[in-house]
Amino acid sequence: MASTNLRQFISLLEANGELSRISTLVDPILEIAAITDRVCKQPNGGAALLFAQPSGSYFQVATNLFGSQKRVCRALGVTNLSELTVRLRSLLDRIPELDIKSLDFQISTLPEFSRFIPHATTKPDAALIEMDPLNLACFPFLQSWPDDGSADSHQSYITLPQVFTTDPDGGTQNCGIYRIQLRGEREGAIQWKAGSGAAQHAELYRQAGKTMPVAIVLGGDPALLFSAMFPLPGDLDEMTFAGFLRGAPLATVSCLSVPLLVPMGAEVVIEGYVEPGDTVTEGPFGNHTGFYSPAAPAALMRITAISHRRNAVIPATVVGPPPMEDCWMAQAWERLLLAFLQKMEPSINDIHFPFEWIFHQSAIISLENPQPGMVRNISSQLWALQWFRSARVLLFVPADAEPLTLSHSAWRAINVTDNSNDIIHDKTTGRIAIDATGSRMPQPGVHVSDETAALVAGRWKEYNLP
């Protein structure tokens, strides 16, 4: 059973010995991030961290909550991430003929999916206290890396926000994760990517000449955080998808000052408006790649209301050179993406996002019974999808090439590929696909015979080896 809010999840981790409490005074400017980075580099992702005394604030900070495969499973209420593939595949199998261009509509109209549409409640969230006067500076938001925000001397960021927007007609809400730079007590800069749901909504408000309402949620059900992180097809509703993941619809409540709905159970809700074309310089920012993204224009949000739990826990993530927490979180998307890909192309057996490649949408993909020309056709199909449009490298191996790891697949790529035929270069974008399936020049691999392997296993103690 998945936790229904951040507080329950933290209690679950602590009960299972997966959370470390830091009771000493710790600075949210650089120090918390440095501690988190060091823990993330430990085997299997290290422990989740709860900082009880961030300096300058009476709120707590939690980091690395989802920084292991076990904790990602706990967050989504599964024992193994492969269960996500099975569940989504079962849903997609109800679509007679999948059309990627209208996949969001095809999924949303399935009764097995639409039954998870969130339920709006009329009562306010009694656990939340309205802040007066408004003051974003009282929260222990982090500076992760030394040059973060240096272009305009605003170094603190909200790094795990669920940002809610909708179009000017009040249609289906979008929920995405975008970094938010603090710019004083009542302003923040939101860096939403071009083409994202929020960016599309912002453009519609610009065209209409209207002010755009925005709500930022911290905490709540972990399933929604993951749903907001996933690049779902089209305009598929993240809150309904979160309900699908958790097996029950979310409950939502109206905001105090903007016409948006947010989920119950949040730690903090920040509301405000963005004026069309009103931007400020945000950045640089140490991002997922392990390098700084340059300073760039970002939407300026003016805050109109803040509500929070009395003893709110501020969830934060630190991104940078892998392995980091986000690498483990993306494994959940990897398993869901496999279901989409197998529905589109049944010859795809598995997919793996190496931690070192993951945020360039690059992947290792295994194929059943690969044939000459198959990789060229499949890579072309994948590059046309939103999920692989920016993929710098797609490396294809046969389904029996186990384990599906970067190390093993790189070994195959060097030793099996024919460079004159098996490296496919998309000259327009610079993307490449590597056919390491061996389909053109199959070579038998060396293996210990089953008989010898059984003999050695049976006599292993005799060898006096560890």
**What is the DSSP track for 246-294?**
HTSPPEEEE-SSSS-EEETTEEEEEEEEEEEEEEEEE--EE-TTSSEEP
List alpha helices for 296-324, DSSP H: none
pLDDT at 419 over 90: no
Tell me, what amino acid is at 124? P
Mean pLDDT of 21-28: 97
pLDDT at 194 over 90: no
* Helix/strand number for the chain, H first, E second: 13, 23
Q: Does domain 345-435 have CATH number 3.40.1670.10?
A: yes
Phi, psi of 328 (to 5 degrees): -70, -40
Q: What percentage of the chain exceeds 90 in pLDDT?
A: 87
Distance CA(407)–CA(356), nearest Å, equals 11
Same-fold call for 82-309 versus 345-435 = no
Q: What is the pLDDT of residues 130-171, one digit of tens each?
A: 999 999 999 999 999 999 999 999 999 999 999 999 999 988
Q: What is the pLDDT of residues 252-269, one digit of tens each?
A: 999 999 999 999 999 999
* The CATH fold of domain 82-309: Pnp Oxidase; Chain A (2.30.110)
Secondary structure of residue 221 in the 3-state scheme: coil
Cβ neighbour number for residue 182 with a 10 Å cutoff = 19
Q: Which residues of 266-285 are buried (b: 16+ CB within 10 A; e: fewer)?
A: bbbbbbbbbebeeebebbbb
Distance CA(301)–CA(297), nearest Å, equals 13
pLDDT at 2 over 90: no
Q: What is the pLDDT of residues 65-114, one digit of tens each?
A: 999 999 999 999 999 999 999 999 999 999 999 999 999 999 999 999 99
Mean pLDDT of 415-428: 89
Which two tokens mark 277? 């074309």
In the chain, domain spans: 82-309, 345-435
Mean pLDDT of 451-465: 96
Q: In angstroms, what CA-CA distances link 151 with 38, 293, 393, 455?
A: 27, 12, 32, 65
Residue 1 — very low, low, confident or very high, per pLDDT cuts 50/70/90?
low
